[in-house]
Amino acid sequence: MERLRLEVRDFAGPLRWRWLLMWDETGSVIDDHQVDISRAQDREEAAAFADLHGFLLWHAVPDRQEASEAEIIARVGAWAGREVLGRIGAAIARLAPVTVRVVVPAVAGFLASWPLELAHANGSPLAARGDVAFAYDLASGEDWLEATRPARDGRKPEMALRMLAVFSQPSATEVLAPLSAKLS
């Protein structure tokens, strides 16, 4: 089984980057594809592809759920084949059986959750072939350090983790009541 590497290059944000497909062993380039999903018509498909489960929950027609979900998956898979993988999908299909190692830098970590297996190549999903597998290689610590280093002009990158936690608590209890009861 052949081993390919699909790397994110020239990352310009979550709507634009370039894929570089190469042989994993030698690093020889096979093909590349410039992704630009910033057009308005791509927004719904991109949202669906990014959270397919959630999209299906909200958009599948309840009285014909199975057929509706299949239609949505086919539409989104065709879009992903055309816009997200482009001609790289056809190259992967042509070289099958293959394992594709998808190398994702920290700034593009969201791509590791995208179901690339559903992208169409030559009219059908790559997953339907049965001879294409994707394995994701997330950024190493060095990649993360490089991505978070200030730019040459001194600006800091806009990468922050924000969390919101909301807890309910009965009014007659204390915050540590369950913990303090166990410690007694």
Instruction: For 129-168, give the secondary structure using H, E and C.
Output: HCCEEEEEEECCHHHHHHHHCCCCCCCCCCCCCCCCCCCC
177 occurs within a structural domain: no
71 occurs within a structural domain: yes
The pLDDT confidence band at residue 141, using thresholds 50, 70 and 90, is very low
- Structure token pair of residue 103: 């190398």
171 occurs within a structural domain: no
70 occurs within a structural domain: yes
178 occurs within a structural domain: no
Question: How many residues in total does the chain contain?
Answer: 184
Q: Provide the CATH number for the domain around residue 140.
A: 3.30.420
| Number of domains composing the chain | 1
List the domain range (segments joined by +) for residue 130.
2-155
Report which of 107, 120, 92 is spatially closest to residue 147, judged by C-alpha positions.
107
Tell me the pLDDT tens digit for each residue of 153-181.
665 555 455 555 555 666 666 655 555 55
Tell me the pLDDT tens digit for each residue of 23-65.
999 999 999 999 999 887 788 899 899 999 999 999 999 999 9
168 occurs within a structural domain: no
- Structure token pair of residue 166: 């909301």
Question: Which amino acid, 8?
Answer: V
174 occurs within a structural domain: no
Q: Which helix (H) or strand (E) holds 35?
A: strand 29-36
CB 134 within 8 A of CB 36: no
19 occurs within a structural domain: yes
Report which of 38, 39, 17 is spatially closest to residue 108, judged by C-alpha positions.
17
